[in-house]
Structure 1
Amino acid sequence: MAQLSAAVPGDLSKLTTLVHSNDLEETRDIISNAYSPYRLDCLGDAREFSAWYAESGFPGITVSGLQYGSPHLGAETLIRPQPLGTYLLVCEVTHGRVTVSSPGREECRVGPGETYVLDPYRGFQVHWSPGARMITVRLAREAVERAAADALGVEDPVRARFALGGAISPQAARTWAGISGAVLREVLGEGVARTNPLVATHLTQTAAALLVGTQRLITEGVDAQRTGVVSHAAVRRVMALVEEQADQPHTLADLAATARLSPRALQEAFRRHLDTTPLGYLREVRLARAHQDLLAAGQDGSATVSDVAYRWGFSNLGRFATYYRNQYGHPPSQTLIT
């Protein structure tokens, strides 16, 4: 294999290098196996062609680094992969520019710090400027389409496609950059996700949920839900958990893990569907259970106000009394003696 003279870029040297070559045929074979079969052409003097590809990851996510050509030479590169099929790629350009297009559909020019998503269903091509470099995050199609179903409030995975135009807003772009940076730190810093399946699963689910929440999602054939029914599957999962285990300690992070959403996404879903927050809903359920217990204790003297409050997770009696009065119009002690 012909070796490149340039060093592998930055901290990405911690990835496992699969290609570091001036050989176009060798590069095509190796990267076709890593991604999907693709056509690779050098646009210019073939002697100026070069490629570097490296990857690493943990169960559920693969991070890759990829560079074609040199910024000091003139050769550009054109790749035309087949549809990805079983996974999605979120691509962030770090150096140079690429032009990505889906023939007959969209085309966008992407520069440093900008991202685009390649979904599993479309054909596409990417035109690389000399020395352009990117980092990609690979997610299984199944994880993303489950997250899309949760976000849309349907039970079955949906056929999720993404527009090429990047995040839905600057705020969304920053949110995706946050989870992408966390994933990269786990991989390059040899974090616990590499050896802890539970952490890997949660991080993968969070990344999939944030991808759906921050990028331009296109879906087809999703049926509208009946009016008056809480259609968001993630919200229903949390509601069921709270109803079954209202006496157990729950944090927002716990509920988000049950929902398979990020805490922020879960809060937004609860506000949209129930006009409350996850912890607000938990408090309402606990107050209702406390109310029933106080009514029963008023008949048989089996408990005090503090007994009932502590049973349902209210460690601060003054705060419990305030919540209770706001909900029922009188203090809990009055329920107990009526």
Structure 2
Amino acid sequence: MDHPVEQVVGRQDRIPPNGTVSHSPPARTSFATTDPERVGDYVRRAFGPGVTVRAEEPEVHLRVEGIHAGSYRVDDVALSGASVTVEPHPVLVVARLLSGSIDWRQRRAGDRFGIGDVVILGDVDVGHRSRWYDAGAVVVTLTAELIQRVAADDSEARVRRVRFTGRRPVSPAAARQWLQTVGFVTESITNEEAAASRLVIGSAGRLLAATALATFPNTSVLDDRRVDRSDATSETVRRALAFIESNADLDIGVEDIAQARCVTARAVQLAFRRHLDTTPMAELRRVRLARAHDDLRNASPDDGTTVTLVAARWGFPSPSRFSSLYRGVHGRLPSQTLRGDER
């Protein structure tokens, strides 16, 4: 008879039950067992107390290889011989089926997911039940708070509460974009230099949430209210710019800027469009590129500084993307600046 095997590498995080956004250093978890009791215990600890597992066959098999970063996680899950019941809680769960199949039910709706399907397995604040038949899947979990904050950062969307209205991607191209994003984020947060930066962890989570909003039908709609227009003043821009300059080293978004200035996120977006013809996030990126430029100028390869390290420090998980942005602004590659070619 097989014996349970459990190995936890680093710290085992669980998505916060209140959905609060946090960007912890990523931790890896590896777990495998055929013991039904251990399956249920692990799933509750890892995914929340509202998740229960019921054995449907004499033997249950569970294997999980995951990486967790507070407000989001990416897990490679294999489960057979069991059904999973999830009570309503503030997270979004997106899965891509790699093997087997899953019978799924949410309220009165039901579906069967097969190999290659990209689907919302668990909607925000809506319970569901699923039966796993030798199923393997890449499962991404995002807090509702992270999704809402990213929706507020979108200059074309403003809603009080995002709701997803469909389980499947809006198009095959959207599904492919989701898969590419998951791969990019996984690679970014498993890179040791990049993963040491909280800005990288935060930006990777925002990218996942933004891609989920672009991939699946949801209620993100434009809401241009009178109070937003009246607050979109040059003074709002001035104060927002000061906040960005003072906090560029932190994982901030439009909602943080708005809260600090006591206006709505939509007002900040409108103000930047009206007075600067740009967006707050574009301005934040400009400031971070300037700080990275200063760091590269003041360092040298001899002291251990690398372009990847500087890029990660200022929230750019992809060195190639950072190099492209940097060259567009400064007319040279960051590696040239680090070597002192411009001095």
* TM-score computed with the length of structure 1 as normaliser: 0.57
Checking the alignment, whether the CA contact within 8 Å between 2:152 and 2:254 is kept in structure 1 is no
Structure showing greater radius of gyration is 1
Q: CA RMSD in A?
A: 4.2
AA of the residue aligned to 1:31? V
Percent identical among aligned pairs is: 20
Q: Deviations over 1:145-182 (max 9, x none)?
A: 1222344633xx63223245211111211221121111
- Shift of residue 137, structure 1, vs aligned partner: 1.6
Determine if the alignment matches structure 1 residue 79 to structure 2 residue 89: no
Q: Distance in 2 between matches of 1:171 and 1:191?
A: 31
Equivalent residue for 1:327?
none
Question: Could you tell me which amino acid in structure 2 is paired with residue 90 of structure 1?
Answer: V
Q: Distance in 1 between matches of 2:233 and 2:169?
A: 28
2-side partners of 1:223 and 1:210: how far apart?
18
Summarize deviations over 1:279-309 as a string: whole Å, max 9, x none. 9xx9xxxxxxxxxxxxxxxxxxxxxxxxxxx
Partner of 1:135: 138
Which residue of 2 is the match for residue 225 of structure 1?
224
Q: Match of 2:66?
A: 55
Tell me the secondary structure at the aligned position of residue 43 of structure 2.
Answer: helix
- Paired residue for 2:211? 210
Instruction: Give the AA of the match of 2:135.
Output: A
Select the residue among 72, 79, 101 that pairs with 1:68. 79
Matched residue SS, 2:55: strand
Residue in structure 2 matched with residue 41 of structure 1 by the alignment: 54
**Shift in CA distance, 278/177, structure 1 to aligned 2, threshold 3 Å:** farther
Q: Which residue of 1 aligns with 2:97?
A: 93
Match of 2:43 in 1: 31
Which runs of structure 2 are paired with 1:175-190 in the superposition (5 Å)? 175-187=177-189, 189-190=190-191
Distance 1:217 1:167 in 2: 11
Partner Cα separation in structure 1 for residue 144 and residue 194 of structure 2: 20
2:170 pairs, out of 154, 161, 168, with 168
Q: Corresponding residue for 2:3? A: 3
Aligned CA distance change for structure 1 residues 200 and 223 (closer, same or farther; 3 Å): closer
Q: Across the two proteins, how many residue pairs are aligned to each other?
A: 234
Residue in structure 1 matched with residue 117 of structure 2 by the alignment: 114
Which amino acid in the other structure matches residue 168 of structure 2?
A: G
Say which SS state the counterpart of residue 167 (structure 2) adopts: strand
- 1:245-264 maps to which residues of 2 (within 5 A)? none
